[in-house]
Chain A
Amino acid sequence: MTYVDAPSTERPPAAARRRWTGARVAGLLLMALWALLGLSIIYMLVVGYDPEEIAKYGPRILNGIWVTLHLVVLSILLGALISIPVALGRLSHNPIIGGIAFGYSYFFRGTPLLAQTFLVYYGAGQFTDALKAVGLWMFFRDAYFCAVLTFSLNTAAYQAEILAGAIRSVSSGQWQAAESLGLRPFITMRKIILPQALITALRPYGNEVILMIKASAIASIITVLDLMGQTRYAFSKTYDLQIYIWAAVIYLITVEVLRRLWEMMERRLTRHLRR
């Protein structure tokens, strides 16, 4: 999710100045198109304003936002926990451990999240008796818990790749220097390698959080009433497209706010690296 202003240097020598270049006309037209689209959406929201509908579905949507938020936070945190052993496995020189970690990561990154969610949620239904016997049926019966479990396993695979890549990016001289100082591997990892690795990992982690927010909409398909779920419910009752527009606005704001906050945090945490 990087945004860098286009450099003005990578251009052929400027042609003679013209007031109306093709690019300007195209830009103006496209901007007008966006403005038109934005205005028509605002018009739609204003004209279609229905206090009754808002009173009826507003609280549900707010509740949906709340569900989405804790679904994402819980999945990201659990995923971070699971990702640690997976990342260590990915870095391991032992072919069996490395192979298992690679297989895990490949499976969860190579298949659609929706299929994984179905696998866990509906797949658990096939083992009802066994799950009841071990007392886990309460857990797998609930779509919310299944979503959390699937999302955690999925994001763990991505986070493990981020973490392993970041640890690999720290030069081996750091390990050797720590070893020559007589530090134990665990201390080396915690005090020397991880602080440097996490700086590299910061941006990909931010992307992963944003991807998770977007992916969490998938939970609505297995009947979790998150923001998307409540939106789909309200749409099925009213057939009013406005509800999807509202949901889009909420998702966009959430993602945009998070992206900016993350950028600020990153700038603050890396201020010692800037000259």
Chain B
Amino acid sequence: MRTKYILTILVVFFIVVSVQHSGAQSLTALEIVTKMQDREDGDNSISDMEMILIDKNKKTRVRKIRTFTKDKGEDSQRIMFFLSPSDVKGTGFLTYDFDDYGKDDDQWLYLPALKKVKRISASDKSSSFMGSDFNYSDMTSKNLPDYNFTLMKELEIDGVKAWQIQSIPKTTEIMDETGYEKGVIFIRQDNFVAIRGIYWVYKSNRRKYMEVKNLQIIDGVWTATEIHMTTKEGRESIHKTIIKHHDVRYNQELNENLFTTRQLEKGL
């Protein structure tokens, strides 16, 4: 009789504790990821991107690219011009990224030496972005319903609380398209910024490790001004890309004509 009584108290105690506990993390994995994706990122942005490519022989190549982005309804647009190296200065890329996932992105390029604008039809987002360790799919937002998200655990990274979330594409088509068969992302609880990520490359034994090395608030927007992406095979680093953003500005007065092929031809 007495033991039963104690047992009941214990059970009630645990229920209360666990309810309180789960209350603290009432967000589901999908909610967290949605919040991450919907985070304020300004209507438009300008930045000078410095891309440092490091190969396995530690040889580096540095590219400087001026980037303009703009939201247009649910879609987004981006135009980029190479500032250096000098051989490719003026080479430009214009991209319309459509929110509708059934629709391929539109992309145009301009080679100043050829003096021609070409539309590029490449539906493959799993390919490398500008020869870096980033894929095109890393540069655009995800279609969340395509994935299963699981909250793995909470942890602290550099003294900040974070969620560790696994994302697995629901179909092999998605894996093929994005180039990844699985991802584990680490999202800061205070600002919903993904500060780390591990990505398992589809049909490969490679993994990619992403880490935000520098995060700051610019014009009210949390901005990763230095991101590292390392491709590894086992413990071995194969290739690495460091992206640094300089002179980032948000919500500027941007000419509507900036995101056109004519501008691409005109250059900066």
Do A and B bind?
A: no
